[in-house]
Chain A
């Protein structure tokens, strides 16, 4: 079975935003511990991850040091975080496997994603990113760097960039080849480095962000994955489901998911993007989506995914109606 596991960037740092790399390594190690049951199975696993806090830190550094060294554009920031987070992640997984006397190649692939520019024109969603500025500096950047800025009450001005839909994962071929060689692939960090294709066919990095949930669902479809796991914090789940639902497994059929999405229209929230992306994946033939906090993932029985359906844990399960009986056997 092919499984894509996508982990929120917030779970890969510690709670204090500005903790050091040592603490990030600890956070990553604890996520890998939560993944151990899954690593034990014979599944082919692809791991994606968020990078919002990591990009935030790089942008802070870039701004703080701009007088002595050139500032970094967003595409390069994304590539930076894919390298660094991928490295720490792959090393933590390799170490965990080594401890359990298992051998599996773990590899990080730098991943670009082609964005849908048509969608950007129809659906101009923007996302705030980077440090806060005072009014004066905000105006300077509006003029010199052509940045769009938004006022965040109590904080100052913050840059906004387009949040674009991914259309194609550029490195799918390489990802497939690596999977077929038996490797666990870490890719599409931060949803991929967003690029466009210019009038002469050339690939060009752009100043935009892509939500990793959509890249996950697109990639899952491109590599014919069966299951997506979105690993997210419990707070996110409670946010949309309400506190009364936080102590049990919730299962949704695709039709029920439609209803849920219908009721929550316009909600701009990470979980919302995950729900929409889940629906796209299930509609394109995916069998199961599991949205789960890391603590619960750790408890996930390694015998079968179906087994935890009946447990009374904090797991939100979204599954396809036709596979309802099937995934007890997965």
Chain B
């Protein structure tokens, strides 16, 4: 491994432009994100990039659903949707990163690896599919899908019915050796897109794609451990993490130790569930597995945070 490796987890939302979702707008958003990643590389880090794909999978599914209804074209299952978006988002990111490197005179190879992440088929998440995915449906259609395709569906208060899938924990990054081979050459690797394509292994070790979603911060945290990263960065919507979020006594944090972070998490009132809480958890796991420091901040402040000027730092 090259001496200073960092992993950054980029939110899928920062790779699209809310309300303006054409490919041109996506390029513009990706180009902006590429600048912030380049800031890290300019600070001397070899960077592996994990990214979300929530909005992107939404687009692929929407297209798939409509084309199926209108033209009878076969639908895309969730694992293949994930692979699609890893290809497309990876391509846009690698192209924009190269262009950003070029304009800054950085000589760096950037590459995208299609990445599968293995989960445990006994993960408790399979008993409680909770992650909503795809468009809202009428009750009839939802129940038909349940019967015919074995979907889990739930009614979302007043808005209609939706498919839900499990969100199991990542256990193993299947392409780990390839990622390490590239990182050890100092390349910028884009991987675990959308938390990785979720797969389970059967008794004989054969891998099979499943309909699930892996938290991209958890997958990126695991990736950071695997590549022996010193630094793990989660780029999100806020500059810093706050305790007592949304309350009068809300307080922005510059730093917290793992012990403090765990205590806040245990109190259960500080961080939004399904949003900030899993990010804190991802950082805790990274440090507990031997990582040195983790950072949570927003994309535009990554450069400043690299100089210790902002962000919330999680340390041992």
Q: Which residues of A contact B (CB under 8 A)?
A: 18-21, 57, 60-62, 64-65, 67-70, 72-73, 75-76, 78-84, 86-88, 90-91, 94-95, 98-99, 105, 107-110, 112, 171, 173-174, 177-178, 180-181, 183, 193, 195, 201-205
24 contacts between A and B (CB under 8 A): A60-B73, A64-B63, A65-B66, A68-B62, A70-B59, A73-B23, A76-B23, A76-B92, A80-B87, A83-B90, A84-B87, A86-B83, A86-B114, A87-B82, A95-B206, A98-B206, A98-B207, A112-B95, A173-B187, A177-B182, A178-B182, A201-B102, A202-B102, A203-B98
Kindly state the separation between the CA atoms of A173 and B109 in the bound complex, as whole angstroms. 8
A21 to B175, CA, bound (A): 23
Whole-angstrom CA separation of A5 from B177 in the bound complex: 22
Given the known interface contacts A76-B88, A81-B87, A98-B205, the answer about A174 and B182 at a Cβ–Cβ threshold of 8 Å is yes
Cβ distance B64 to chain A, nearest Cβ, rounded Å: 6
Docked Cα-Cα span, A83 to B60, in Å, equals 13
Residue of A nearest to B77 (CB): A21
Residue among A21, A57, A65, A180 making CB contact with B62, cutoff 8 Å: A65
The residue of chain B having its C-beta at the shortest distance from the C-beta of A73 within the complex is B23
* Extra A-B contacts (4), CB below 8 Å, given A64-B73, A105-B178: A21-B80, A87-B209, A110-B113, A202-B103
Q: A60-B67, A178-B182 are in contact. Are A87 and B114 (CB under 8 A)?
A: yes
The CA-CA distance from A86 to B66 in the complex, in Å, is 25
Number of interface residues, chain B, beta carbon within 8 A: 58
B173 to chain A, nearest CB (A): 11
Q: Would you call B84 an interface residue if the criterion is a C-beta within 8 Å of the partner chain's C-beta atoms?
A: yes
A174 to B71 CA separation, bound complex (whole angstroms): 40
Q: Are B83 and A87 in contact (CB under 8 A)?
A: yes
Question: Given the complex, which residues of A lie within 8 Å of B113, measured CB to CB?
Answer: 107-110
Interface residues of B in 112-130 (CB under 8 A from A): 112-114, 116
> In whole angstroms, what is the CA distance A81 to B187 when docked?
24
Given contacts A18-B74, A72-B23, contact A181 B177 (CB under 8 A): yes
Q: List residues of B whose CB falls within 8 A of some A CB.
A: 21-23, 59-60, 62-64, 66-67, 70-77, 79-80, 82-88, 90-92, 94-95, 98-99, 102-103, 109, 111-114, 116, 174-175, 177-178, 181-182, 185, 187, 197, 199, 204-209
Does A174 lie within 8 Å of B109, measured CB to CB?
Answer: yes
* Given the contacts A69-B59, A94-B174, A108-B114, A20 and B204 also touching, CB distance less than 8 Å: no
B70 touches A64 (CB 8 A): yes
Of residues B73, B87, B92, B99, which shows the largest number of chain A Cβ atoms within 10 Å of its Cβ?
A: B87
Chain A nearest CB from B168 CB (Å) reads 18
Q: How far is the CB of A222 from chain B (nearest CB, A)?
A: 14
Nearest CB on B from A101, distance (A): 9
Bound form: Cα–Cα A20–B73 in Å? 8
Name the B residues within 8 Å of A98 (CB-CB): 204-207
Is A83 touching B114 in the complex (CB atoms < 8 A)? yes
Interface majority SS (helix, strand, loop, mixed), chain B: helix
Q: Find chain B residues with CB under 8 A from A204 CB.
A: 95
Are A99 and B87 in touch, CB under 8 angstroms? no
Which A-chain residue is minimally distant from B81 (CB atoms)?
A84
Q: Which residues of B contact A94 (CB under 8 A)?
A: 174, 206-207
Is the CB–CB distance between B63 and A65 below 8 Å? yes
Chain B residue numbers with a CB within 8 Å of A107 are 113-114, 175, 178
Q: Which residues of A contact B187 (CB under 8 A)?
A: 173-174, 177
Our pick among A69, A72, A84, A195 for the contact of B95 (Cβ within 8 Å) is A195
Which 10 residue pairs are nearest across A and B when measured between Cβ atoms?
A: A83-B87, A79-B91, A87-B83, A181-B181, A65-B66, A61-B67, A108-B114, A174-B111, A110-B112, A64-B67
Chain B residues closer than 8 Å to A19, beta-carbon distance: 74
- Separation in Å of the A15 CB from the closest CB of chain B? 14
- Rounded to whole angstroms, the CA-CA distance of A60 and B178 in the bound complex is 34
Taking CB atoms, residues of chain B closer than 8 Å to A88 are 80, 83
> Taking A62-B63, A68-B62, A112-B95 as contacts, is the C-beta distance between A91 and B199 under 8 angstroms?
yes
Q: How far is the CA of A177 from the CA of B67 in the complex (A)?
A: 40
**Do A181 and B83 touch (CB < 8 A)?**
no
The answer to whether A18 and B73 touch across the interface, beta carbons within 8 angstroms, is yes
In the bound assembly, the distance between CA atoms of A202 and B97 in angstroms comes to: 10
Docked Cα-Cα span, A78 to B112, in Å, equals 14
Given contacts A61-B64, A62-B63, A112-B95, contact A79 B88 (CB under 8 A): yes
Report B-chain residues with C-beta under 8 Å of the C-beta of A108: 113-114
- Whether the Cβ atoms of A105 and B95 lie closer than 8 Å is no
Q: Given the complex, which residues of A lie within 8 Å of B70, measured CB to CB? A: 64-65
Assuming the A-B contacts A19-B74, A73-B23, A110-B94, are A171 and B83 also in contact, with contact meaning beta carbons closer than 8 angstroms in the complex? Answer: no
User: Complex formed: what's the CA distance from A68 to B175 in Å?
Assistant: 35
Shortest B159–chain A CB gap in Å is 17
The interface residues of chain B lying within 8 Å CB-to-CB of A95 are 205-207
Please, which residue of chain B has its CB at the minimum distance from the CB of A87? B83
Residue in A18, A67, A177 whose CB lies within 8 Å of B185: A177
Question: Inside 8 A of B175's CB, which chain A residues have their CB?
Answer: 105, 107
Q: Taking the nearest CB of chain B, how far is it from the CB of A109, in angstroms? A: 6
Contact of B111 among A57, A87, A171, A195 (CB under 8 A): A171
